[in-house]
Amino acid sequence: MKKILILNGPNLNLLGKREPGVYGNQSFEDYFETLKGNFPEIELHYFQSNHEGALIDKIHEVGFTFDGIIINAGGFSHTSVALADALSSVTTPAVEVHISNIHAREAFRHHSYITSRSKGMICGLGLRGYELAVRYF
């Protein structure tokens, strides 16, 4: 059975409450239950933190044993060389996901340090981007 980690960064714990016009009305926890139901043949794990070091620790924890990491690093996507380095340091491949289209937002969101360390990026398709990333793996 494949093991995939979904790793969400800062402020994504507020999905369903935070800017629903951009991020929708559903909490990630509710969406994750649906996602697990859609992929019973895959062992899906979920971790969210607002702390960069906790995200790095989780990458190190699973980065040699899991089959995939789906990462939405939130605001850290645009600032964290350390998260990018963590992804480069492990053998588990990653796919970057963003709920909103980061290229249609503020200019500082157009660059992600995570992208070059990922197999690909899915952005702007809402929560469905996570499903597409699971399908990739």
pLDDT in tens, 86-115: 999 999 999 999 998 888 787 877 889 999
Strands 42-48 and 94-98: unpaired
**Could you confirm whether 111 is annotated as catalytic?**
no
Instruction: Tell me which of 31, 46, 98, 130 is the catalytic residue.
Output: 98
DSSP 125: S
Residue 134 burial (CB count, 10 A): 21
- Beta-bridge partner residues of 43: 3
Tokens representing 94 are 């990653």
pTM of structure: 0.94
85 assigned to a ligand binding site: yes
Q: How many structural domains does the chain have?
A: 1
Tokens representing 40 are 């019973």
**Could you confirm whether 98 is annotated as catalytic?**
yes
Range of the domain at 76: 2-136
Q: 3-state class of 112 per DSSP?
A: coil
51 assigned to a ligand binding site: no
Domain harbouring 67, CATH code: 3.40.50.9100
Q: Are 114 and 93 in contact (CB under 8 A)?
A: no
pLDDT at 15: 87
116 assigned to a ligand binding site: no
pLDDT at 132: 98
Q: What is the pLDDT of residues 36-55, one digit of tens each?
A: 999 999 999 999 999 999 99
